[in-house]
């Protein structure tokens, strides 16, 4: 899995590419928690290029969401493909996250929000 970051104003977009599973989820966690530790309060996780996600990846997202909530930060997931969406539905994760259909909509949602 490769992970890249892009900045759009005060929003950071994180783009993982490939599998998010027990092998790769540590790398995703380090990347995301690194941004949280730097005080980034507005994160978008762009999921378009994620082939699939297993429970190891879901655990990372759950920990991240809790951390952001503690710090009054936010994370929006964007562009979930069918595989990722179905796993979210089966795991009951849809209600836990803010989601948008595209990266642009996710950025807009956060850019218009007050900073914590």
Instruction: State which of residues 3, 8, 17, 19 lies at the interface with another protein (CB under 8 A).
Output: 19
Q: Does residue 90 interact with another protein by CB under 8 A?
A: yes
**Of 13 and 84, which CB lies nearer to another protein in the complex structure?**
84
Contact predicate 84/106, CB 8 Å? no
Cβ distance to another protein smaller for residue 62 or 105:
62
Do 12 and 46 meet the contact criterion of CB atoms below 8 Å apart? no
Rounded Cα distance between 10 and 13, Å, is: 10
Cα–Cα dist 59/14, whole Å = 17
- The interface mask with another protein, positions 38-77, x = CB under 8 A, is -------------xxxxxx-xx--x--xx--x--------
Q: How far apart are CA 114 and CA 116, in angstroms?
A: 6
Q: Cβ 92 to another protein, closest distance in Å?
A: 3
- 91 near another protein, rule: CB under 8 A: yes
Residue 33 in the binding site for another protein (CB under 8 A): no
Of 5-13, 21-29, 40-48, 99-107, which part binds another protein (CB under 8 A)?
A: 21-29
CA proximity to 43, closest of 22, 21, 72, 17: 72
């Amino acid at each position: 899995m490769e992970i890249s970051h892009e900045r759009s104003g005060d929003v950071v977009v994180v783009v993982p590419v490939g599998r998010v599973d027990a092998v790769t989820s540590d790398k995703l966690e380090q990347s995301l928690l690194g941004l949280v530790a730097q005080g980034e309060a507005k994160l978008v996780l762009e999921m378009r290029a994620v082939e699939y996600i297993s429970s190891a990846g879901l655990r990372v997202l759950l920990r991240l969401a809790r951390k952001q909530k503690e710090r009054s930060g936010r994370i929006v997931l964007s562009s979930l493909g069918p595989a990722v969406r179905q796993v979210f539905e089966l795991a009951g994760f849809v209600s836990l996250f803010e989601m948008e259909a595209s990266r642009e909509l996710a950025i807009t949602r956060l850019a218009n929000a007050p900073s914590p």
